[in-house]
Structure 1
Amino acid sequence: MIALRPAAIATAALAALTLSACSAADDGTSPTPGTSSDSAAVADDAFTLYAGRDQELIDPLIEQFESETGVSVDVRYAGSTELAALLLEEGDATPAGVFLAQDAGALGAVAKADMFATLPESITETVPAGFTSTDGSWVGVTGRARVVVYDSDQLSADEVPTTVAALTDEQWSSEVGIAPTNASFQSFVTALRVLEGEDVAQAWLEDMEANDVQIYAKNTPILEAANAGEIQLGLINHYYWYRMAAEVGADNMRAQLAFPEAGDAGGIVNVTGAGLLSGAADDADALRFIEYLVSESAQQYFVDTTFEYPLIDGVAAPEGLPALETLTNPELDLSDLDSLGETTDLLVSVGLL
Structure 2
Amino acid sequence: MRRPPTHRGSTLALSALLLPALAACGGSGSGSGDKKERKADPKVRAAEKLVIYSGRDEKLVAPIVAKLEKATNTKVEIHYGDSAELAARILKEGHRTRAGLFFSQDAGALGALSRAGMLAELPRASLEKVDSAFRGSGGDWIGVSGRSRVIAYDARQTDAAPDSVKELTGPKWKGKVGYAPTNASFQSFVTGMRVLEGDRTTLKWLKDLKANGARPYGKNDAILNGVESGEIALGLINHYYWYEQHAAIEARGGKVHSKIHFLPGGDPGALINTAGVGVLKDGGQNAAAGRAVDYLLGKEAQKYFAGKTKEYPLAEGVTSPVKDLLPSLKSLDAPKIDLGRLDSLKKTQEMLKEAGMV
TM-score, normalized by length of structure 1? 0.86
Is this contact kept in 2: 1:53–1:101, CA < 8 A?
A: yes
Change (3 A) 1:167 1:107: same
Match of 2:205 in 1: 204
2:228, 2:58 → 1: CA distance? 25
Is this contact kept in 2: 1:143–1:309, CA < 8 A?
A: yes
User: SS of the residue aligned with 2:300?
Assistant: helix
Is this contact kept in 1: 2:47–2:73, CA < 8 A?
A: no
- The one-letter code matched in structure 1 to 2:125 is S
Report the alpha carbon displacement of residue 58 of structure 1 after superposing the two structures with TM: 1.5
Of 121, 125, 128, 1:122 maps to 125
1:236, 1:136 → 2: CA distance? 29
User: SS of the residue aligned with 1:149?
Assistant: strand
- The one-letter code matched in structure 1 to 2:354 is S
Matched, 1:41 2:25: yes
Deviates more, 1:89-98 or 1:292-301: 89-98
Q: Residue by residue, what CA displacement relative to the aligned partner does 1:316-337 show, whole Å, maximum 9, x if unpaired?
A: 1332322222324463222332
Q: Where in structure 1 are there 5+ consecutive unaligned residues? A: 8-12
The alignment covers a number of residue pairs equal to 333
Of 17, 25, 32, 1:26 maps to 17
Q: Residue by residue, what CA displacement relative to the aligned partner does 1:271-295 show, whole Å, maximum 9, x if unpaired?
A: 1110111222544222221111111
Report the alpha carbon displacement of residue 107 of structure 1 after superposing the two structures with TM: 1.0
Match of 1:10 in 2: none
Change (3 A) 1:107 1:167: same
Matched, 1:81 2:84: yes
Change (3 A) 1:107 1:97: same
Q: Where in structure 2 are there 5+ consecutive unaligned residues? A: 27-45
Is this contact kept in 2: 1:44–1:285, CA < 8 A?
A: no
Report the alpha carbon displacement of residue 222 of structure 1 after superposing the two structures with TM: 1.5
1:224, 1:54 → 2: CA distance? 22
Report the alpha carbon displacement of residue 117 of structure 1 after superposing the two structures with TM: 1.2
Matched, 1:323 2:324: no
Max radius of gyration: which structure? 2
Structure 2 matches for 1:105-184, cutoff 5 A?
105-157=108-160, 160-184=161-185
Change (3 A) 1:54 1:309: same
TM-score, normalized by length of structure 2? 0.85
2:227, 2:8 → 1: CA distance? 29
- The one-letter code matched in structure 1 to 2:329 is L
1:233, 1:330 → 2: CA distance? 21
Change (3 A) 1:211 1:330: closer
User: SS of the residue aligned with 1:130?
Assistant: helix
User: SS of the residue aligned with 1:249?
Assistant: helix
Change (3 A) 1:90 1:176: farther
